[in-house]
Amino acid sequence: MNYSELLTNVRNYTEVDSNVLSNSVINVFITNVENKVAREVDSDDQRRYATTTCSVDNAFLDVSGREGGFRFARGLQLIDANNEITWLEQRDTTFIDEYSVTRSDAGSSTNGQPKYWANWDATNLILAPTPDQVYTIEMWYDETPERLSNTNTTTFLSNNAPEVLLYGVLGETFSYLKNTQDMQLYEQKFQQALQLYAQEQMGRKRRDEYSD
């Protein structure tokens, strides 16, 4: 289902024309639903992998320049000069701070090959120990969901789970129209469709039939 088809379906289901349900109004509902789906379902289209490098004496790893937008890291791999790969362990920022203070108090250098990482802020991850040399880091992360619009007429969600998008937008639309009964109906249909989509993306597509 493309963008124009979604707009037409929403107006047909609600029997309300574009004088009330303008494109700009429905666009808000579409974005709301896309955000809901992205936060509840770890879908294939948001999974990304990128290689970067850390800097000497700099504990921070800048993730602001990721194409598509960086939402969160799923894991980090460190590749040393011998091409040996080590998974870094995720910790809280308080652990990173205490780890560095403890090493310093013990007379050890706070620099070394990183073992841990944590979320620092919206644009940076933090490593510990602070890198003592340049290391290659492979990031496994999720990006911002692709947006449906009049210039981007189809997305992974609209192509692969159009019912999730339609029911979600209808729930938002009937809430806007103050139609509680139909809002509850389509919210239920949205949740049912979302569960099936999640079972496919996070269940069936993550399992191997031979192993299972």
- Residue type present at position 159: N
Residue 53 · residue 133 · CB < 8 Å: no
Number of C-alpha atoms within 13 angstroms, CB side, residue 137?
A: 27
Residue 142 · residue 39 · CB < 8 Å: no
30: Cβ–Cβ under 8 A, 6 or more apart, which residues?
Answer: 6, 147, 148, 165, 169
pLDDT score at 113: 93
Beta strands 111-112; 70-79: pairing state: unpaired
With b for 16 or more beta-carbon neighbours within 10 A and e for fewer, the 58-88 pattern comes to ebebebeebeeebbebeebebeeeeeeeeeb
pLDDT > 90 fraction of the chain, expressed in percent and rounded = 76
Q: What is the pLDDT of residues 61-106, one digit of tens each?
A: 999 877 678 889 999 999 988 899 999 999 999 999 998 888 777 7
CA distance 142 to 75: 10
Most confident of 44-53, 101-110, 164-173: 164-173
CA distance 38 to 191: 14
**Cβ atoms within 10 Å, residue 4:** 11
Q: Which residue has the tokens 């349900």?
A: 21
The DSSP letter of residue 16 is -
Whether cis (ω within 30° of 0) applies to the bond prior to 131 is: no
113: Cβ–Cβ under 8 A, 6 or more apart, which residues?
Answer: 78, 80, 86, 129, 131, 132, 135
pLDDT, averaged across the chain? 92
Indicate the length of the chain as a whole number. 212
Q: What is the pLDDT of residues 95-136, one digit of tens each?
A: 999 988 887 777 777 899 999 999 999 899 999 999 999 999
